[in-house]
Structure 1
Amino acid sequence: MRIFIILILLFNFLLSYDKNSLLKEASKLEKDGKYKEAMLIYKEIANNTYLEKTLEKNSFEEIKIKEMPEEVKVLAQNVNTIEDQETMTTIEQMLASSFNLYPYKENYFFPISYDTKKRNDRKRNETKFQLSLKKPISHNFFGFEETFYFGYTQVSYWQLYSDSSPFRETNYKPEFFVTVPYGKRDKTALKGFKTGFLHESNGQGEEESRSWNRIYLESYFQYKSLFIIPRVWYRIEEKDDDNPDIEDYLGYGDLTFMYPYKENNFKLMLRNNLKSKDNRGFVQFDWTFPFFGSKNTFGHIQISNGYGDSLIDYDKDITRINFGISLSR
């Protein structure tokens, strides 16, 4: 929980850099005699509750020191002031060690993850958790308001209730993707596109090794409070393929529905290989809801059935019931 609080504080801290840019722009307009345009920017800065001290001079003691982590404050207050604001910004980034990371997919922890079928190689109840983060790399490089990201998602299955408590399976999913908004608010149902490259593997060797690479295209539609997200992918062929039939089980795409209602969020993901013979599919339902009044921790119930529960079990039909908490949704 603490790491997410720190990330939020750093995010707020970095927002001040945009306001410094506005201040520079307003000063330039004022020097050029464009007083009306300059006053509009000053008004925008004031409306955003920017600290008055930053309008007078720049120093570490005056640039939202209170929003830094405590250990960064101590360093910041002892650093000499540099007149060049861009240099000061770089020093601030160095001290704060900001990675500019954000939650990507759900970050959850399920102490109860129950397989409805008995299996010889594991206990039916285990612990499942997911860590998912994204890092923005570039914005509006091509002029389409697009944003390039690096994302990382890790799903782990932990046999916590067995004697030695081993990690049974971990799936690693690094990816590179770009999001492109489309249309204007309330004008079109289509809201945007997302395309990227996704690698997925389980890090194991020999017979238990599983991996595949995909390029995908995803689009976002909104109808009132309902969000519809279809995704299609193309698998990149590999010379040493340890699961050549994975598309027979996971197909060539999926379809996700999300329906936020008041403080609840409901999500349904469907996947099918679209074959009349040997038809196989997967369905997963997620419900997140307020957790004892917390604004950043949620109760999370997840129920899934079908093929592709994890890479090691991609060709097994598994029904799983999960209960726990989620730190993002």
Structure 2
Amino acid sequence: MKFNNCFTTFFFSVFFSVVIFSSSVSAQKAFTRQEINDSIQELPYFSNHLDNYFITGVPTNQSIDRASANAKYQISFKQILSKESLPYDTYLILTYTQKAFWNIYEDSFPFRDLNFHPTISLGKFVYKKNDELAGIATLSFEHESNGRDSIFSRSWNRLSLGYTTNIFKNTTASFKAWLPFAYEEGNPDLLDYVGLAEIKISHELIHDKLSFAVMARKGLNFKNGALRSRIYYNPFKRNIANQYIMLEWYLGQAESLLDYQQSQSMIRIGYVIKSNEFNWFRGKK
């Protein structure tokens, strides 16, 4: 797939845009330390983590048939283990995400791959000198595998450091870097495709109605990587339970662990319960 030049241009455009505009903080009224501390006590212990969705679609880089078209769904939730802050004002959080690739158009509807992703994290709110929210930092231990054996086994572990912040009005950026370990068996060249970091940018065009998000990742082998873009549209008159229609385009490798070396371009559409994990950055109403 010949997408490397435009992908590289986009990747560095995103990176330098974030660096340049990171000082252009939104005029939205940010939450204060006290307001966040009070809000944490009202949060449910158990809630959604990443997007929960069911989408289906077709490839754009190969012929469309019952084998190449598929469905993808994701279930993701988190458990706050304690609402009382730990040392350095951190919070301990357990998360679990399961992503499935389902060949629903083939006979017997086989699952192509299941990816399991449990995580335990320390989260910390970061504040400016005036005690308004500046960002959220996380330090996580992550395990990801497809639960299979023999030549189909794929797994890796990593320590990751993430930071999410507003870069300008209605736009949030998330940066994540990881230190992998215990991944060589079964997928020794995995880092050539997933690299050591990723960037996510999300922007709300119409409040509670229309938004988009993009994720960019480069492998250690610089010709490899992934670019994922999503458009969220709420067709309801009200934002009912954070439900949207999502259009997704995934371009690159490592969408699933089993086929992490395979380049693909997939467009899918479907139903999503959108994550509200970083609604802190939308400011006070």
Measured in 2, the distance between the counterparts of 1:325 and 1:214 equals 30
What does residue 95 of structure 1 align with?
A: none
Q: Which has the higher contact order (CA 8 A, sep 6+)?
A: 2
Quote how far apart the aligned CAs of 1:131 are.
0.3
Q: Please say if 1:316 is aligned against 2:262.
A: yes
Quote how far apart the aligned CAs of 1:237 are.
2.8
What does residue 158 of structure 1 align with?
A: 102
Which amino acid is the alignment partner of residue 53 of structure 2? Y
Quote how far apart the aligned CAs of 1:228 are.
1.2
How many residues of Structure 1 are paired with residues of Structure 2 in the alignment? Answer: 227
Structure 1: stretches of 5+ with no match in the other structure: 1-98
Output one character per residue of 1:128-153: Cα deviation in whole Å (capped at 9) or x when no partner.
10000000002344344322111000
Quote how far apart the aligned CAs of 1:320 are.
0.7
Q: Please say if 1:249 is aligned against 2:193.
A: yes
Corresponding residue SS for 1:314: coil
**8 Å Cα contact 2:194-2:220 kept in structure 1:** no
Corresponding residue SS for 1:249: helix
Report which of the two has the higher share of helix.
1
* Distance verdict in 2 for CA 1:220–1:182, change over 3 Å: same
Report which of the two has the higher share of strand.
2
Q: Please say if 1:236 is aligned against 2:176.
A: no
What does residue 136 of structure 2 align with?
A: 192
Within the candidate set 109, 118, 125, 1:181 is matched to 125
Q: Please say if 1:301 is aligned against 2:253.
A: no
**8 Å Cα contact 1:151-1:174 kept in structure 2:** yes
What does residue 101 of structure 1 align with?
A: 46
What does residue 264 of structure 1 align with?
A: 210
Which amino acid is the alignment partner of residue 201 of structure 1? S
What does residue 31 of structure 2 align with?
A: none
User: TM-score, normalized by length of structure 2?
Assistant: 0.73
Q: Which has the larger radius of gyration?
A: 1
User: TM-score, normalized by length of structure 1?
Assistant: 0.64
Alignment of 1:21-60 (within 5 A): none
Measured in 1, the distance between the counterparts of 2:144 and 2:180 equals 11
Quote how far apart the aligned CAs of 1:117 are.
3.9
Corresponding residue SS for 1:182: strand
What does residue 229 of structure 2 align with?
A: 285
Measured in 1, the distance between the counterparts of 2:170 and 2:73 equals 28
* Distance verdict in 2 for CA 1:183–1:108, change over 3 Å: same
**8 Å Cα contact 1:264-1:287 kept in structure 2:** yes
Alignment of 1:34-183 (within 5 A): 100-110=45-55, 112-118=56-62, 123-183=67-127
Quote how far apart the aligned CAs of 1:191 are.
1.0
Output one character per residue of 1:47-68: Cα deviation in whole Å (capped at 9) or x when no partner.
xxxxxxxxxxxxxxxxxxxxxx
CA RMSD of aligned residues (A): 2.4
